[in-house]
Amino acid sequence: MGLSGFGDGTVQVTQYRVLVPVMKAYPVLVIALGAGAAAMFVVAWLMRLLYNLHAEGNVRIEQAVGMPGKVYLTIPAPPTGGAAE
């Protein structure tokens, strides 16, 4: 029997309840609710970890002044002489 989520506990409770009187199903119900709550907290914790993985992605030009860099485009020289455009 593997870990497949919230449905596992419910299936176990309903199968157990059919086999024995209703009063003996309560421990299984408590275990199923506990397992569901634990799974909910684990998923919430994982989502919080994923949310914290975001990147800012902003470029701060003031931190780039004077730093070496690589030019990917040809920068044309300013026009010399001739008519003003």
17-36 confidence digits (pLDDT tens): 555 555 667 888 889 999 99
Q: Is residue 61 part of a domain?
A: no
Q: Is residue 62 part of a domain?
A: no
Q: Is residue 66 part of a domain?
A: no
pLDDT at 42: 97
Q: Which two tokens stand for residue 39?
A: 């799974």
CA dist., res. 83 & res. 65, Å (int): 34
Q: Is residue 38 part of a domain?
A: yes
* Global confidence as pTM: 0.42
Q: Quote the number of domains for the chain.
A: 1
Q: Is residue 85 part of a domain?
A: no
Q: Is residue 32 part of a domain?
A: yes
Q: Which residues of the chain have pLDDT under 50?
A: 1-2
Which single residue is written with the structure tokens 């024995």? Answer: 20
| Domain, as residue range, for 41 | 6-53
pLDDT at 17: 53
